[in-house]
Each structure stands twice: as C-alpha cells, then as structure tokens.
Copies of this chain bind each other. A is one copy, B any other.
Amino acid sequence: MAESGRTPQARALLQQCLHARLQVRPAEGDAAAQWVEVTSAPQLLRLFSGAIQRGLVIYVCFFKGADKELLPKMVNTLLNVKLSETETGKHVSILDLPGNILIIPQATLGGRVKGRNMQYHSNSGKEEGLELYSQFVSLCKKELAANSKCAEAGVVVEHGTYGNRQVLTLDTNGPYTHLIEF
C-alpha cells in the first residue's frame, strides 16, 4: 500500500454488494442502453432461493506516473483482502467467498478540492489511464479464472467502459466502504 506522505499511483475504493447493475453503453438512436449486472447468484436461482452471497464493487483511479508493474500487486491485494462477508458473518476474500466483481473506472476519485471546485491535475492521462484500466480488468479476470473455487462457482468479472458515464444501481447489505491506495 502507498506509504503515507507519498503521492499514490492508484486509488481503489471497495464496496460490497448484494446486487449491482452498471450501464456500459448509453442508448443511442434506436439502440437501447447496454448494462452489466452482478448478483450473488444467477438471478433466477436468487429469486427462488433468496440466496445472497456478496459481490465486490471496485472503483479504480490511476494517477500520473502509475506504472503497470504495479498492477499484479494491486490486483493481488484487492482480490485477497478479507472484506467479503459470508452468510455466517465471517470475513473472507472475494476469491474465497467466492463472489462476482464489478470494476468501475472512476477518475473522479483522483480529485482535489480547490475552492469550490475539484481539480484532477494528478490523474493519469486518458490513454495511459485506459491502458492501465484495461490491464487491470484483464488481470482480475485472469485471477478469477485461475481460481478453482471461483471457476466452479461460475463467478464473473464485469466492468464499466472507460471514459463513459457510470450509471450504477447498487443494492447492499452494508456497503462496508474501504479505500486502498497503491
């Protein structure tokens, strides 16, 4: 994690969800908006069984100077930190839950107050940010696929499209919000 006093390379915000829905493409002309959903279990199963395991929402922002060599450590930390609650109230990692993951690019997390406005001077540039974000998503998918518990449970990684408005609906049993800097 970033040592206090040093400018971080990346900031991640974690919230637990029972269900989350994110628009990945806005409506345009005749084409309806496209969405991804993260639920604790397949929707039908959930409707009938009421089973509620949690998923993890990861909001992520990269700063100027962020190095892609940071990404494996970052993904390793985020997927292994014990912040997901089992049905018996124990905290385990999202890999151990196992649960779904929704990744949301959130450049606003890099803002600093200046008077009554926010400034984003420390944020990574657009292309560089997109590249880091894409690799971050790929690495998360890879980790999930390589985890036998996750593969067996059929959990997935969904993610927002970089640079778009992140239209989000979130249903939680307590967001249990955590900030982790790298």
Contacts and interface: CB of A to CB of B under 8 A. Distances in A.
Contact of A81 (B1, B83, B93, B118): B118
Given A7-B4, A171-B169, A178 B111 contact: yes
Interface residues of A, number: 39
B170 A165 contact: no
Contact of A174 (B5, B167, B171): B167
A161 interface: no
A166 B170 contact: no
B173 A170 contact: no
A96 B95 CA distance: 43
A112 B1 contact: yes
A83 B111 CA distance: 11
Contacts of A66: none
A176 B82 contact: no
Given A13-B177, A166-B174, A4 B5 contact: yes
A82 B168 CA distance: 21
Interface in A120-171: 165-171
A43 interface: no
Contact of A178 (B118, B172, B174): B118
Nearest to A165: B174
Given A4-B7, A7-B4, A176 B108 contact: yes
B113 A1 contact: yes
Nearest to A61: B177
Contact of A167 (B111, B113, B172): B172
B117 A179 contact: no
> Which 9 A-B residue pairings sit nearest by Cβ, starting from the closest?
A5-B5, A170-B170, A165-B174, A168-B172, A1-B113, A169-B171, A106-B177, A166-B174, A111-B178
13 contacts: A4-B5, A4-B7, A13-B179, A59-B177, A80-B116, A81-B118, A83-B118, A108-B178, A111-B178, A167-B174, A168-B172, A168-B175, A169-B172
